[in-house]
Structure 1
Amino acid sequence: MTARVLLLGGTGDALAIARTLGPQHVYSLAGLGRVPADLACVVRVGGFGGAEGLARFLADEAVSLVFDATHPYAARISANAARACLAAQVPYWALRRAPWRAQAGDDWRMVSGWAGVVEAIAPFARPLFTLGREPLEHLNEVPEQQHWTVRCLEAHPGHARARIIDARGPFTAEGERALFTESRIDVVVSKNSGGAATEAKLAVARGMGLPVVMMQRPPLPDAQREFTSAQEVIGALDDYIKRSSNA
């Protein structure tokens, strides 16, 4: 049997995994951010049409394993992938990156959605949003007493009461400290993404005594095998591909 892996990606960890895959495998991106041009595997951009569309793709393309390395907050994609794998009788593996944990000196305010974010930042004047694109949908709701700094992957024309920064990690403590100081940030708004690439903002917030409004992770479906690092995944996929090829 020839193994064919569908890697659902869009994160730095997923890209590291994709760089180890050969031309028979597929790396799938939702379409946000830059499309890598240095991969040996097939790169597919765009949705599948929900769980049903993904199940058809798995059958049509003879996919033997789906690996979910999407963002920890991509709950809909993960749910559709799990349902599609169940319908197509294809194994579903996933990278479940460990969340950050509050440390001594941290002032985290936990919220579960956008309404909670708005309520939590109400006392502050200059929040920094590191939630991706979601704040861009609310630029016309910026209160008069606030000025937002929004960091996301894609360029945006901006707004009279918001500064939009398109940047991709990893970010350094020095760079974060300079941004906080220049923009006079008084609260950081973050997803609990885990990983080292964007963790510096938390250390800088801790050192500067700034609160962090932390959005809780959504529930994700169980996988037949779960991993916590890209290196674990690379080893497991290599073993799977070799075993499948020798079967």
Structure 2
Amino acid sequence: MTLLILGGTGEARHLAEALRGTDAMVSLAGATRAPADLPLPTRIGRFGGAAGFERFLQDHAITAVLDATHPFAQGITARTARICAERQLPYLQLLRPAWTPVAGDRWTQIAREEEAAAHIPKGATVFLGTGRQTLERFANLTGRRIICRQIDPPEGPFPFAGGEFLVGRPPFSVADEVALFSRLSVDWLVVKNAGGAMSATKLTAARQLGLPVLMIARPAQGDWPVVSSVDAALAWVAGL
């Protein structure tokens, strides 16, 4: 068996650590320029579309695929699930549970980034915890101060007026986030419902500060096998 793990999440790192020394490898899309080393053979970069992914599966004699990509990487997940089904390769998605609001949260659920402008008044300072890949979808937030945090230094100017980049590499503690939001005079927090404990600290900070949160809902789930924990994914691997 040669297992391919599609990574990029903390769960993928835990899988790699648990499967150290086995016939498995990890693929990272390259969203982060200098990812931390993993204890399994690792490739970095895109496959070059569906045809490139199929060639990779064949060239590396992949016999099963464990998809531990980001919950919002729906295009990669749907393509992978389809190709594995066509090739009759075992496939599983590891999808961590979504966040749910608790007492004290001031969440507004939205379906798309473009909807944020309908909720955030002009003059507000907006902290985007959504990453740079969908940044241009917020271009209609004119008249607000936009702060977008990303891991790597920007390669160019902010794509629209009124915005600025903030470079920071997680993890961030709750105290870190409270101090940051206070220093920046943040009025609104915008996040994707990625789930996970590590990145939930910004939500706890927003709760403590009484900040309103725009929560972008996850994309619709397809018809493929899914588990929600690393342990369940490892049990699936053990049964291959």
1:60 corresponds to 2:69: no
Aligned-pair identity (%): 37
SS of the equivalent of 1:71 reads coil
Residue 217 of structure 1 corresponds to 218
Determine the structure 1 residue equivalent to 2:99: 100
1:218-233 to 2 correspondences below 5 Å? 218-224=219-225, 226-233=226-233
> Aligned-pair RMSD on alpha carbons?
2.3
Structure 2 counterpart of 1:174, one-letter code: A
In structure 1, runs of 5+ residues without a counterpart are none
8 Å CA contact 2:114, 2:138 repeated in 1: no
| Equivalence map 1:190-201=2 (5 Å) | 190-201=191-202
Moved more, 15-24 or 215-224: 15-24
Greater CA deviation, 116-125 or 61-70? 116-125
Given the two structures, how large is their TM-score scaled by the length of structure 1? 0.86
Give the distance between the partners of 1:123 and 1:73, measured in 2 at CA: 28
Which residue pairs with 1:128 in the alignment? 127
| Paired position in structure 2 for 1:202 | 203
How many residue pairs are counted as aligned between the two chains?
Answer: 236
The whole-number CA distance in structure 1 between the counterparts of 2:138 and 2:215 is 20
Q: CA deviation at 1:39?
A: 3.0
The residue that corresponds to 1:153 in the other structure is 151
Q: How far 1:94 sits from its partner (Å)? A: 1.1
Q: State the Cα distance separating 1:24 from its structure 2 match.
A: 3.4
1:81 aligned counterpart, secondary structure: helix
1:171 positional shift? 1.7
Counterpart residue identity of residue 125, structure 1:
A
What TM-score, normalized to structure 2?
A: 0.88
Deviation at 1:106, TM superposition (A): 1.4
Q: CA deviation at 1:100?
A: 0.5
C-alpha contact 2:116 2:141 (8 A) present in aligned 1: no
Where does 1:1-247 land on structure 2 (aligned, <5 Å)?
A: 3-21=1-19, 22=21, 24-36=23-35, 38-123=37-122, 125-134=124-133, 136-137=135-136, 143-144=142-143, 146-156=144-154, 159=158, 161-224=162-225, 226-237=226-237, 239-240=238-239
Instruction: Give SS of 1:199's match.
Output: helix
Q: CA deviation at 1:58?
A: 1.7
Structure 2 residue matching 1:80: 3-state secondary structure: helix
Do the aligned residues in 2 keep the contact of 1:48 with 1:57 (CA within 8 Å)? yes
Maintained 8 Å contact 1:5/1:64: yes
Higher relative contact order (CA 8 A, sep 6+): 1
2:116, 2:13 → 1: CA distance? Answer: 30
CA contact under 8 A between 2:30 and 2:45: conserved in structure 1? yes
